Amino acid sequence: MTKNSISNLREKMKELDINKSEPYTNKHIKNKLRERYEDNICISECDGYNDLVTMREKTSTILRSYFQRKDGNDDFQKWAIIETAAMLIKSEIKTCTSCVTDTNPSTTELLGDAPYKFLPESLWLFLDLIIVGDKNHTKVSSIGQALIQATRPRMVLVPLQVGLGVQLYHLFRSEFLLSTLATMGFCVSYKEVKRFKKNAASFVSQNFLDDILDKNERLIMFAGDNVDHNLVTLDGHGTFHGMGIIAATTPGVKLNSEVKRCKVTDLDILNKSRIPIVNYRPSSQAHKEILFEDVPKFPGIIVKNIDVLWELSLNLTKPTPNWQKLMHTLHSGSNYPGKSTVTFLPMIDMYSGDRSCILSTFTFTSTFVP
């Protein structure tokens, strides 16, 4: 249990009570602390974790302490100025940076000027004066976020360190590398990266349902194909043959990229990403009548002649247009639906040619049809 957590404070109250009565609840303690200290206290709340409490120092208090010890020789004044500046920056870090929530940093916090704007004003001004170079924003952002993470290790989860940890794990799969960099303060721990990946795997199907299926007037096309991994191994074990499924949505939608940050077990991931297996029984389905709707007719140009037109254009025009250029020319001025969105769905751990696997794929995708 963390020393500066609400639960720890409640246990201390229980120990100091002579009558050994039941102390306040955690919620009531937090309300009392906010009522007493107002803006001077910061409580970090996160689902599944202990609520953490830290105190903030106001700028006026820090400057008053500096002027009280201002007198002295030059070395003493120099150290007093440095210590006061450090306390001012630390106070602004505690005040401006948002605490850890139940959601991991999003990808938008890693792009453009977002990492630079994540820093408090005093911190980026301090680092901008020290670090030299034409393109020092990247260095200022990374070093500044590392300082924020080191200042508040249990209260803040900075975006750049999460992104770096996930990227390194994706490329090298090395626990030693992540643990070494985390010890040096350059990225999040290996445990935090594993938690991120479990949450990402757990919520992919739910995000698909929330972001795509609830939208009207969209065409969803499903595609399934074999997925093979480690086809040839020395002992013949560790191979994977399965069915991979994707969903292409037209026009495209902006997917919810928020990845929750909570405790997820392997069983939770399995239950949320499992596709029900339907056993294929020919005798029970041989005489069933299957009806298909009519294929929609495309207005305007005849689709089957597009290939012939493109083949003729290879000999008549220079430079030769590719297929993409041809489609742009044919549909110029028309109502273009926009770029499609491709979503990866859970895999089926079965041989893709197995009839039960094929039937399970069709049954799973048919559940999304309104």
- Picking from 202, 221, 253, the residue at the C-terminal end of a domain is 202
Q: What is the pLDDT of residue 60?
A: 64
Residue 45's identity, in one-letter code, is: E
| Shared-domain flag, residues 218 and 101 | no
Classify the C-alpha dihedral 327-328-331-337 as positive or negative. Answer: positive
Do residues 266 and 308 share a domain? yes
User: Taking 50 as the threshold, does the pLDDT of residue 268 lie above it?
Assistant: yes
Res 324: pLDDT = 80
Confidence at residue 48, expressed as pLDDT on a 0 to 100 scale: 56
DSSP secondary structure code for residue 216 in this structure: S
Distance (Å, whole) CA 144 – CA 151: 10
Q: Please tell me whether residues 333 and 245 are part of one structural domain.
A: yes
Averaged pLDDT for residues 287-313? 67
Residue type, 166: V
Q: Are residues 213 and 241 in the same domain?
A: yes
Cα–Cα distance measured from residue 211 to residue 140, given in angstroms and rounded to the nearest whole number: 36
Q: What is the DSSP code (8-state) at residue 209?
A: I
- Segment 107-114 shows an average pLDDT of 89
264 plus 303 within the same structural domain: yes
Between residues 120 and 297, the one the model is more confident about = 120
Q: What is the pLDDT of residues 24-52, one digit of tens each?
A: 888 888 888 878 777 667 676 655 556 76
| Averaged pLDDT for residues 294-320 | 70
Q: How confident is the model at residue 148 (pLDDT cuts 50, 70, 90)?
A: very high
**Residue 80 pLDDT more than 90?**
no
Classify residue 326: in a domain, yes or no: yes
Query: 314: exposed, middle or buried (C-beta count within 10 Å: 0-12, 13-18, 19+)?
Result: exposed
**130 assigned to some structural domain:** yes
Helix (H, G, I), strand (E, B) or coil at 255: coil
Mean pLDDT of the chain: 81
53-57, 77-81, 165-169, 343-347: segment of lowest average pLDDT: 53-57
pLDDT classification of 296: cutoffs 50, 70, 90: low
User: Is 105 inside a domain boundary?
Assistant: yes
Check pLDDT > 70 for residue 3: no
Mean pLDDT on 340-359: 90
User: Domain check: are 254 and 128 in the same one?
Assistant: no
Residue 142 counted as domain residue: yes
Sign of CA dihedral 178, 183, 185, 189: positive
Q: Give the confidence band of 1 by pLDDT, cuts at 50, 70, 90.
A: very low
Helices marked H in the chain: 6-16, 26-37, 59-68, 74-96, 114-117, 121-130, 137-151, 159-172, 175-184, 190-202, 204-208, 266-272, 282-285, 306-316, 323-330, 355-366
Residue 279 pLDDT > 80: yes
CA–CA gap between residue 170 and residue 230 (Å, rounded): 17
| Residue 56 domain-assigned (yes or no) | no
Mean pLDDT value across residues 349-364: 92
- The DSSP annotation for 85-110 comes to HHHHHHHHHHHHSPPP-SBPPPGGGG
> 348 and 296, same structural domain?
yes
Last residue of a domain, one of 173, 202, 231: 202
**Max mean pLDDT range (76-80, 140-144, 304-308):** 140-144
Picking from 202, 222, 242, the residue at the C-terminal end of a domain is: 202
Shared domain for 183 and 301, answered yes or no, is no
Query: Can you give the residue range of the structural domain that contains 130?
Result: 97-202
* Residue 299 DSSP code: P
Does residue 44 sit within a domain?
Answer: no
The stretch 185-191 carries a mean pLDDT of 94
How many whole angstroms separate alpha carbon 16 and alpha carbon 4?
17
Q: What's the total number of domains in the chain?
A: 2
